[in-house]
Structure 1
Amino acid sequence: MSIFLSRNREKTVIESITQELKKKKNFPHSTSKLLKSEQALLEKVRIKTQEMNINNVARTKAYFDFYLQFPDIHWAFLAHMVSRNGGWNMTDLQGEFLTRLMSSKERTLFFSFLERSNWLIFQDAYPQLLIYQESVKQNRSLFYLFPYLNISTFMETIWNYFWKNKDRFILTIALIINEQNYLESRVVQNPYYQNSVINKVEFLLQDLLSFNQILFPRGKTSVSGLTVHQFESLNKRILIGKKLYTILFKEKEALKQSVEWANTHPHTGSRKDYWPHLFNNVNEGIPGFAYQPRLNSCQLRPGARKIYSPSLENAWKNVNHEDAEKGDWFIDWRVVDYFTESNEMINGEIKNEYCKTLEQLELAVLAKKAIHFLE
């Protein structure tokens, strides 16, 4: 199942999109008075987005439900699986290991960082999906409404291209480019998160020890994915997104298994969702007792308790967010360079690396090398 373009097709497509983006750059879309039906649609989109953006579990489900209805929109399933990982990262902060290695204040700041990023992407991307859904229903392109939802002119161009050409690869890569550029100024370069999270030793420690794998479960113990390094690099994040897309969609049978797994394992935020032999959403530990070694090559030692991994609802309360910062990130049409296919071989093997990460975390807990910089 090839998701990529042929070399000749790739060049033609990129040239076509580039010309459209140059026009948009020189002659930005001007908003005009809307019909009552259009105003009603926009309000419906805003309300639906707000309803589904209450927490990571709701967002993650919304992406998957959309993909099941529109499987040509590959990004929706990619977003679903990555959002699952966002939820697992959130609950890790209240789970077995990180509660012993980080202070409550540090963990709350990390959650704020993850939650804001997750919330921002959804409130920008989900309206795009809903407008596409309505376009299909009405059998006409409605992407001219994007400016009224503060969606980038870049995505208006790409969705119009997709409407005519049904190019799933281009749309997926464009949405990856969009989401990461959207986060860049609002979160990654935001002075608050720079000072409180990204520049903190704990964030660098996570990167150093690879505590940030993105996992795509497929069966009882089968997982694929990637380890994310250098989150602060916009270029690296986009390239990682492209690689994750390749891992998830390059093989038809593997994709089918991932979709079936997602359909039979509702997202709760607990890592018990994919490895119940190792994790439990109920804390089996005894309060006040020191941590005892439990792991051996991703298996529990005889008689050992499972690792605590709470559900999201038991880990964090829902957050009321401030409105997203206005502004269009699109200033340079040369982002089309990301549409070029990479020749890098990606196998997605991650299980062994992830198992080593869990063992590293356990060793860190046993050594009690928690360092607090905020207290």
Structure 2
Amino acid sequence: MTRDLNLNNVTRTKAYLAYYLRHPEIHWAFLGHMVSRNGGWNMTDLKGEFLTNLLSEKERDVYFRFLERGNWLIFQDVYPQLLLYEESVTTNKPLFYLLPRLKVSIFMEAVWHSFWRARDPHILCIGLVINEQSYLEERVIQNPYYQKEVIAKFHLQDWLSINQILLPAEGNQLQGQTLSRFQSLHERILLGKRLYAVLFKNPEFNRQALEWAKRNPHTGSRKDYWPHLFNSVNEGVPGIPYPLRLKACRIQNDAQRFYSPKLEDAWKNAAQPEAEPGDWFHDPRAADYLEDDLEPIDGAIKEAYCKTLERLEIAALAKKAIHFIE
């Protein structure tokens, strides 16, 4: 079942939401769904209006492989855990002793047993955040190829917008958090904790975000949350530069919207090699992150995200104009 659902970002993201609707006590499934949506948007950005002008085809292919590998690895590690919990509920018997057979970290075996006894959704969710980010650390972030081709060039993270995780909700709401250093495991785990606080410490926002997610199936296009700015169909004329259209996150003078394709139109499914073996858990201090030490967080991010889009438009327009003149 995991293999069948691990085809691409859209199938993974939908699987997380479907699971959460079956088991709302597993908060990570909803958090994972929302973060995975962001992964899909970052993937399609690489074939969208801005980055096709700012990055070469080779650079965009490398960034896609980087994003896709991480997205694939997390799903193949976490989804069997979710299914094992589901079977444990069905049989009313904890089956977490089987986790090592699924090559899951011993850290998570302890966390799942704790959850089964205490039913603390925060501990489980943050435990999964710690596990998945630690799982990626050696396999992706410290991978020599990605270190050279992606991490070393991470001044481009502002253009890629991958440092801004957006959490849309009903009523055109947009909350989220910004990550300052993607290459830092510590910062990524803290980001996960802050996102959890934004999404679950405010019950009304949680309700509105879930309602939005159910009403707007994930396609990978940013049109999913802001159709007034983005369209999955390219409205522009190829090769012709246009004046600036964006101001305060609004399209000026009835100009065309920005192109943000669906994932299925942007990238083919990518076959992945097996996950690299090994258990990341060697330092008991990793459990320190489990502490519930966050109050409700103001997740206001709209202004910062709008500025990112404005920078992208200006940079892409300048490069496009140069090519047009040449």
Shorter-chain TM band:
over 0.9
Corresponding residue number in structure 2 for 1:139: 92
Corresponding residue number in structure 1 for 2:103: 150
Question: Which one of 190, 196, 205 corresponds to residue 245 of structure 1?
Answer: 196
| In structure 1, distance between residues paired with 2:135 and 2:206 | 28
| In structure 2, distance between residues paired with 1:322 and 1:291 | 42
How many residue pairs align between the two structures? 321
Deviation at 1:207, TM superposition (A): 4.2
Residue 129 of structure 2 aligns with an amino acid whose one-letter code is I
| In structure 1, distance between residues paired with 2:169 and 2:254 | 28
SS in 1 for 2:167: strand
| In structure 2, distance between residues paired with 1:345 and 1:267 | 27
Residue 262 of structure 2 aligns with an amino acid whose one-letter code is S
1:304 aligns with 2:255: yes
Corresponding residue number in structure 2 for 1:79: 32
1:95 aligns with 2:48: yes
Residue ranges of structure 2 left out of the alignment (5+ in a row): 322-326
Question: Which one of 267, 272, 278 corresponds to residue 321 of structure 1?
Answer: 272
Deviation at 1:366, TM superposition (A): 2.4
Deviations 1:266-313 (A, max 9, x none): 000000000001100000010121243111111101131000000000
CA contact (8 A) 2:39 2:71 kept: yes
Corresponding residue number in structure 1 for 2:324: none
Once the two structures are superposed, the pairs formed by residues 185-224 of structure 1 within 5 Å of their partners are 185-200=138-153, 203-207=154-158, 212-224=163-175
Corresponding residue number in structure 1 for 2:240: 289
| In structure 2, distance between residues paired with 1:329 and 1:118 | 18
Cα distance change on mapping 1:344 and 1:66 into 2, 3 Å: closer
Once the two structures are superposed, the pairs formed by residues 1-375 of structure 1 within 5 Å of their partners are 48-200=1-153, 203-207=154-158, 212-342=163-293, 346-368=297-319
| In structure 2, distance between residues paired with 1:208 and 1:266 | 26
Cα distance change on mapping 1:199 and 1:133 into 2, 3 Å: same
Indicate the larger mover: 205-214 or 79-88.
205-214
Deviations 1:216-262 (A, max 9, x none): 10124210001122110000000000000000011111101011000
Cα distance change on mapping 1:291 and 1:101 into 2, 3 Å: farther
CA contact (8 A) 1:110 1:197 kept: yes
Larger Rg: 1
After superposition, the CA RMSD in angstroms is 1.5
| In structure 2, distance between residues paired with 1:305 and 1:74 | 38
CA contact (8 A) 1:143 1:160 kept: yes
Deviation at 1:333, TM superposition (A): 1.2
| In structure 1, distance between residues paired with 2:201 and 2:296 | 11
Residue 188 of structure 1 aligns with an amino acid whose one-letter code is I
CA contact (8 A) 1:207 1:229 kept: no
CA contact (8 A) 1:211 1:357 kept: no
Corresponding residue number in structure 2 for 1:31: none
TM-score, normalized by length of structure 2? 0.96
| In structure 2, distance between residues paired with 1:211 and 1:67 | 24
| In structure 2, distance between residues paired with 1:303 and 1:313 | 28
Residue 358 of structure 1 aligns with an amino acid whose one-letter code is L
Deviation at 1:332, TM superposition (A): 1.2
Deviation at 1:204, TM superposition (A): 1.5
Cα distance change on mapping 1:321 and 1:343 into 2, 3 Å: closer
Deviations 1:5-39 (A, max 9, x none): xxxxxxxxxxxxxxxxxxxxxxxxxxxxxxxxxxx
CA contact (8 A) 1:209 1:357 kept: no
| In structure 2, distance between residues paired with 1:294 and 1:268 | 24
| In structure 2, distance between residues paired with 1:208 and 1:88 | 13
